[in-house]
Amino acid sequence: MKSVAGGHNAGQPLRFHQANPGDFLFQATMTQPYYETMYILRPDIPEEEVESHITKYRDLVIEAGGEVLDNQMRGKRRLAYTIAKHREGIYVQLNHNGDGQQVAPLERAMRLSEDVIRYLTVKQDGPMPAPRSLPTGSSETVSAPTEPALSAAE
């Protein structure tokens, strides 16, 4: 048999070595997967419209049977490259949980919206973020300061 990378022989079962009784060097953590959707809104839309988009996408996840874990507005930031003639964008992060059926309607709504210039949904396998507890009547978004544009870099 040929040896493959890492010293494991093909066709042989993987073996885990114990450092101490009960301790394995390789341990899998059992965490429930969740989804993280990051989307970028056009920088020229008013704050009230940003709030309506955040509410719309949160409600879409809930209507599709998902659970919203966290919803944060990351603020207006300069883009690494021009997207649809925009140099800046308003970043919003939406963490949600569900069976995956909520992703398609959410991404379809974002694709059809003219205010969303980019979006990405990633399935996370790490520890689930704790839901933020907010006082009733407050907004679910956290505004971040706008980063100044560097004129020397242009």
Beta bridge partners of 97: 67
Q: CATH code for 34-124?
A: 3.30.70.60
- pLDDT tens for each residue of 80-95: 999 999 999 999 999 9
What's the token pair of residue 46? 């008013």
What residues have CB less than 8 Å from 77, skipping those under 6 apart? 88, 89, 91, 144, 146, 147
Q: In whole angstroms, how far apart are CA 57 and each of 7, 19, 111, 143?
A: 48, 48, 12, 18
Domains of the chain by residue range:
34-124
- pLDDT tens for each residue of 49-59: 999 999 999 99
pTM of the predicted structure, to 2 decimals: 0.65
What is the structure's pLDDT at 72? 93
Q: Splitting the chain (154 residues) into consecutive groups of 10 residues, what average pLDDT does each group show?
A: 47 49 44 89 95 96 94 94 95 94 95 97 80 47 43 41
